Structure 1
Amino acid sequence: MKNIRIILLALVSSVLFGCGTTSTVPITGRKQNLLVNDQEVLTLSYQQYQQYMQSAKPSTNASNVAMVKRVGQNLANAVVKYLNAHGLGNEVSQYQWEFNLVQERSVNAFCMPGGKIVVYEGLLPVTRDESSLAVVLGHEIAHAVAKHSAERLSNEYKKQYGVSLLGVGAQMAGASDGMTQLLGLGASLGSSLWTSGFSRKQESEADRMGLVFAAMAGYDPQTAVAFWQRMAAQSSGSGGLFSDHPSDEKRIKDIQKWLPEAKKYYSSSTSAPKTTKTLHISSKKLSRK
């Protein structure tokens, strides 16, 4: 019986890791193993995005809405241009970029796979200018480009099925059944799959990539330091924007370490957008839910 169990577990490992694909994250070069393909993740993402937007209240501030869309699209254009130039255009060929500002006082933003990005109004009084907003949006775009949600979904699947005989049964039932279970897992995780729960490694990776993406689009990456200093100053220690991320202090130190790399892209950008002030929603200190 012991030998049979070892053989079955070995089969599980070979199926889990053999049927997946090895992908390389742009900018950082990190290798990752994914058990789910883009189409499956995007289908699930778009379904949950539509559900979210049906209940969300779009911002009525036309100026801020236009700013979010403008900065977001500048970033998306720069990222796609970079990926195409490096033979990686297929990685985002199915993405449908969309940038929305919603009425929510929390200091936050999130991106679903496929380029569906949502910014809360509560973030704007902290970003203050377009360059700082670009740093945040660059971070969110990085999660999508690096396929962090697909990676998390793959890791959750491995944890649930990769170390049990039930996992063997599920995998031996057929690849299509396995994918059905994987997508069912994604549905059960719900919005947390897209808005939280990334590992510290993924969050730091998104910080680095986002800094570079902002610079590519012509936004001064140096503004990231002042932005995170403002975040640290207004933090109550009870969570908030990227509450699952590294501490503000560590983030600032890491950003200062990555600035020379980002500035190379900034200096080579042909046209840097102006850094303009946002129209603040409120002068009151906002909640960091």
Structure 2
Amino acid sequence: MHSPTAPRFQWRALTSVLMTLGFALLALSGAMLFLAPPGRVANWTNWTLLGLRKGDWGALHIWFGALFLAMTAVHVYFNRGPLLSYLKNRATRTLGYRAEWAVAAALCAAVFAGIRAGVPPFSSLLAWNEAFKESWDRPAERAPIPHAELLTLAALAQKAGVDPAAANARLTAKGVAGFAPETVVRDLAARANLSAQQVYDIIMTAPSAAGEPRAGQAGGGLGWKTLAQFCADEGLDLAAARARLGAQGLRFEDTQTLRELAVANRQKPYELVELLRTK
């Protein structure tokens, strides 16, 4: 009796399976990136989908794209005979014109030209994708500047109109400690298992009654000064400041802090500070 021989390892089968899996994961990661918010939103809010961040989906897309391309090259090598036969004339069996290749080339050229020209339906799909991505951006959750997570903690506090010492105290009170003012917000957020937006929200929280100074006192930050106090400290004319805010359609009261004024008008405190300081 002949003992059954173990089946030989088939490289063609491996190539086909890897191509299929690579294509499936390439399509999945591509769909996730198609739906993902812009980087300035995703990185600020620590956006995730199916448990993965946008950067994770991007890494998967690149690597499975590379795997798919490599396996496609191997697949073409294994099937070079049939592929070359598609270039041959059916009657003469020599290399020549084939309508299939002409149609394929024409379709690719049409897609390329349509994208470059920005005409429907190519422009429509891209416009819808851009609109969908922008729908993730909510003014109330917007970073003080694009990619603010790349700022140091001290720079972010300065942008927010908060004294770095006050920002440090607020973070420490929330259990976020053991960092330097030069720490990048993204790194700090990752170590604290928070999003950069949550770090910013902690910095912007109202000071406690018995803790750090309140509006207008040293260390409280510009956001906690009233409009009148800010103008007095900056040497600005209060009437001119009122007129400047009114010209922008902003609602305000002299007794409001800049923080309260910003929240009421869906602005950031630093935006109001820059507006008021504009000559």
Q: Does the alignment reach a TM-score above 0.5?
A: no
- Name the larger-Rg structure: 2
Higher strand share: 1
- TM-score category (smaller protein): under 0.3
Structure with higher RCO (Cα < 8 A, 6+ apart): 1
